Structure 1
Amino acid sequence: MSIYAADKLISQARQLAAEYRRTMGKPLPGISNEIALHDAIRLLKLTPVDASVGGYDAVDPARDGLRIQIKSRTIFDESKTGQRIGQIKAEQPWDSVVLVLMDDNYEPYEIYEADRDDLLEFMEKSSSSRAKRGALSVARFKMIGRLAWSRDEGLAPELWDNQTG
């Protein structure tokens, strides 16, 4: 499948997911993660790995093959607090986690990245049983991590400077 075909399919998936939610009143299961995976790989210039590889979804060739786990969260109502991301599995191999935040049209507006050591340190020190299991809120992930990409600014130069040009 060509890149164009994948981009076109993802565009159609965005439209379908948004319309499904408006019509049915609930999100279409599993689609936000697929869209976020595609967006993170495209926007951060990552290389996808085979689905059978456990623990991470892509590698960053510009950073010596850094293994990156990709998570997503679609924010339908920004006034609601306590929104969570999928569980981070500490026992699996990965170097960092990327969180793709999407709006109600399933379009990415921010991507954050947090290093393994920083995430594991928080999980170990936390008094929350949820955090110890690797279930973090979006707000906590943003505090631990750093902004890697935004819709308004593109790639964060201090993190991704080696990929510009």
Structure 2
Amino acid sequence: MAILKDVKPLAREYYEATGKPLGVTGEIAEYEAANILGLQLTIAREHGMDAKKNGFTFQIKGRRATEGQTGRFSNGPWDYALLVLLDDCFDADSIYLAERALVIAALDAPGSKGRNEGRSLAIAKFKAIAGKAPIWSKHIPEHLRQHWKPPACLK
């Protein structure tokens, strides 16, 4: 966790210098989700899940943009998907939660070769199936965040 905290400024500096991502966005998103939501990260490359909490498993996808695609979803044993959108400093801007059944249904829906074969979703599609509103956002004032009631899977 401490290393990932140190990587964030390097990732930003690299992006500003080259215009390309450093390739650590997913790991930073996992770090941010774990810190914010109190998740326990799984060991590296555990098939199909990135974190656990209260008997539920989570696959975490991270992006530094508000458009584009999520990463590839695995067929592993995860219950929920989290999409962590990062700001320019690689800090969490917002987090969206979607149930596995909804994600799989969207991935399997006919009509998109990239979605069906690539097993990724457009960020807008993920937000739509997640209910459009994030479960966490840095834009919610701290005094209101104190009254946040997490979904049952995150209690």
Q: TM-score range by the shorter chain?
A: 0.7 to 0.9
SS at match of 1:85: coil
The answer to whether the aligner puts 1:48 opposite 2:21 as a matched pair is: no
SS at match of 2:59: strand
Q: What is the CA–CA distance in structure 2 between the aligned matches of 1:97 and 1:53, rounded to whole Å? A: 15
Deviation at 1:162, TM superposition (A): 6.7
- Please list every run of 5 or more consecutive structure 1 residues that lacks an aligned counterpart in the other structure: 1-5
Letter aligned with residue 150 of structure 1: S
8 Å CA contact retained: 1:111, 1:148: yes
The answer to whether the aligner puts 1:17 opposite 2:11 as a matched pair is: yes
- Please list every run of 5 or more consecutive structure 2 residues that lacks an aligned counterpart in the other structure: none
Deviation at 1:130, TM superposition (A): 1.8
Q: Report what 2:137 is aligned to.
A: 150
Deviations 1:133-163 (A, max 9, x none): 3211111100011422111234852526973
RMSD between superposed Cα atoms in Å = 2.1
Letter aligned with residue 69 of structure 2: R
8 Å CA contact retained: 2:56, 2:153: no
Q: Report what 1:3 is aligned to.
A: none
Letter aligned with residue 118 of structure 1: L
8 Å CA contact retained: 1:70, 1:97: yes
Matched residue count: 147
Residues 38 and 162 from structure 1, CA distance in 2 versus in 1: closer, same or farther, beyond 3 angstroms? closer
Deviations 1:102-145 (A, max 9, x none): 01111110011111111112222231122223211111100011
SS at match of 1:27: coil
Q: What is the CA–CA distance in structure 2 between the aligned matches of 1:40 and 1:162, rounded to whole Å? A: 11
8 Å CA contact retained: 2:53, 2:154: no
Letter aligned with residue 55 of structure 1: G
Identical-pair percentage: 30
Q: What is the CA–CA distance in structure 2 between the aligned matches of 1:161 and 1:59, rounded to whole Å? A: 10
> 4+ runs of 1 displaced by more than 6 Å?
none
Deviations 1:34-78 (A, max 9, x none): 1111111111111122225211011112xxx11101111012xx5
Q: What is the CA–CA distance in structure 2 between the aligned matches of 1:162 and 1:73, rounded to whole Å? A: 21
Residues 162 and 137 from structure 1, CA distance in 2 versus in 1: closer, same or farther, beyond 3 angstroms? closer
